[in-house]
Structure 1
């Protein structure tokens, strides 16, 4: 990301002009010219000449940019990040928004999948953006594991889950392992990790190896780690993504840049990459805001993602809910809505 000044390094008048540009841009979606800011000269306490000078300085340090041949300025991705992290004043979701979220999600006898689907519908309607939700994974619990050699370096890993399902994965090794190592790896997994989900088993295995409490040799340790990794990656593919409200992305401002919108719609169709984006919020266990080029998936479409994880039974993070839209999102309004939706989902399905 482009380096630049911090909020504390900006002068009072630079902060005032920068805030005005960002707020005008978020409201209109169009570049903000010095003439527009000049109409705010009294509230800014600056002359028109001073405003033009400050705009130039803000552009020079990378907080503002001039798109195309327009004389107006727009905040850069770095500028928006600075605004969101250092200047935005976000509070609780409004009373009407909280009521709408509660009403949309709290119907009695509603299946979890229906609640999650409704969450995207409600968020999309309130935010006028596309809304997404990552449906909880079906986490399998390990009952038994074993390994069989197909060749000296090609191993078949066999997992039996607590529901009786059997999964096979081929593990490629750089070196041959002995039949004794295969037996030892299977016995270790079954004895130490039976009753654990694959995610928990992977975490426990990593901890035991790092603390040298795994009483197995290096070859067996590598085989166990690779076996768990192959099953865990398969579990990640089981996550389901629900997307609603793509039509909101085709607003009046988008008509001038249809290529950007086409790019964004294509990004939303790439479910695997979208799940990876949301997984960042799940793993961080906290609200995540991705602005424009900060995320590779949305760098071309110039879009932002606001996502928050929600919990299931026993407080375990099971999914993520969020919104996707242009970088000119009203972050101060939408961040609390996403947060409240995630907390409501946690309460309803936990």
Structure 2
């Protein structure tokens, strides 16, 4: 029989698995793993019969009560059993979960979609994300880096003393417009000078390359632009670059969410997934972390209402820099031990694809 002292008081707990006794850790792990597998609360009688603890139901119930007081377990109104809270899931994921490599079948399914010949990059990313969604039985999302436009021609059209219309013609034939607000009005000749400089010196470059050349030529005195005209060119490039920086999001497999036992939560999650700007900001956290991230429920404002979880990992380009993020979105009762290695492998596979 396991022997252990009492659990620490809630205000003494630091959030470490070391705060739990051996007995409490074993019971807590069993409850979490059972809940993640079945979605059902776990009762003390079930643990006494099948948990292998050699403890009475009453003894197990006492430990469960202690774990509840620590905020790691909760008792639904409809059940005498316990289920992990979001805090409990975080402790389990960070300190107790054991993950394995993805299975050969999972690897083969992802590899098959990442190697489709003749498909565009966006199509391959979409198909690979679709495979991940099917394997995880959840929605999956990939942030696709938006290509930096290559400048063919830039036109500046005065609209009023403080406003210009900037028209960018890309090397691929695309045409887009932006409004530029000026801090100081410019003369028509200054606007013409800025336009002539951009088309003579910046055509054929990406926006990032154009901004770099402008800075270099101003520093060396080769730009031959006065201060206001140089500011106009710089602001024009910045306006386009800010807009180009946002990723394109591909979300696949939302239908898997309908398999949820809680359709109200599934409906909320559907609504949250439509808020792609907020979803992009959430994925940016994984991008900035430079490694796989797990977000559980209310840890993110976006999924606080539906109580959903996100497992996301960045993938890299040929130069090793992070260019996008791929991940899985589903209920907090994800099979994290299985989903985490699948997302990690998918990110690694996309890195090889981008390289």
Q: Is the structural similarity TM-score above 0.5?
A: yes
Question: Which band: TM-score by shorter chain?
Answer: 0.7 to 0.9
Match of 1:259 in 2: 264
Match of 1:248 in 2: 256
Q: CA deviation at 1:141?
A: 4.7
Q: CA deviation at 1:344?
A: 1.3
TM-score between both structures, scaled by the size of structure 2: 0.76
Matched, 1:7 2:17: yes
Q: Aligned match of 2:89 in 80, 86, 93?
A: 80
Deviations 1:184-227 (A, max 9, x none): 9999999999987556888x89xx9xxxx999xx9999988865
Q: CA deviation at 1:338?
A: 0.9
Inter-CA distance 162–110: structure 2 relative to 1 (3 Å threshold)? closer
Match of 1:110 in 2: 119
Matches within 5 A, 1:1-350: 5-43=15-53, 45-141=54-150, 154=163, 168-172=177-181, 176=184, 230-237=239-246, 239-251=247-259, 254-255=260-261, 257-350=262-355
Which one is further off, 139-148 or 321-330?
Answer: 139-148
**Count of matched residue positions in the alignment of Structure 1 and Structure 2:** 336
Inter-CA distance 39–113: structure 2 relative to 1 (3 Å threshold)? same
Q: CA deviation at 1:337?
A: 0.7
**Could you say what secondary structure the match of 1:72 adopts?**
coil
Inter-CA distance 80–197: structure 2 relative to 1 (3 Å threshold)? farther
CA distance in 2, matches of 1:131, 1:70: 32
CA distance in 1, matches of 2:42, 2:228: 62
Contact 2:303/2:309 (CA < 8 Å) preserved in 1?
Answer: yes
Which has the greater radius of gyration? Answer: 2
Q: Which has the higher contact order (CA 8 A, sep 6+)?
A: 1
Inter-CA distance 281–228: structure 2 relative to 1 (3 Å threshold)? farther
Q: Which runs of 5+ in 2 are unaligned?
A: 1-10, 222-226
Alignment RMSD (CA, Å):
3.9
Contact 2:296/2:332 (CA < 8 Å) preserved in 1?
Answer: yes
Inter-CA distance 248–163: structure 2 relative to 1 (3 Å threshold)? closer
Which one is further off, 189-198 or 227-236?
Answer: 189-198
Q: Which runs of 5+ in 1 are unaligned?
A: none
Inter-CA distance 99–288: structure 2 relative to 1 (3 Å threshold)? same
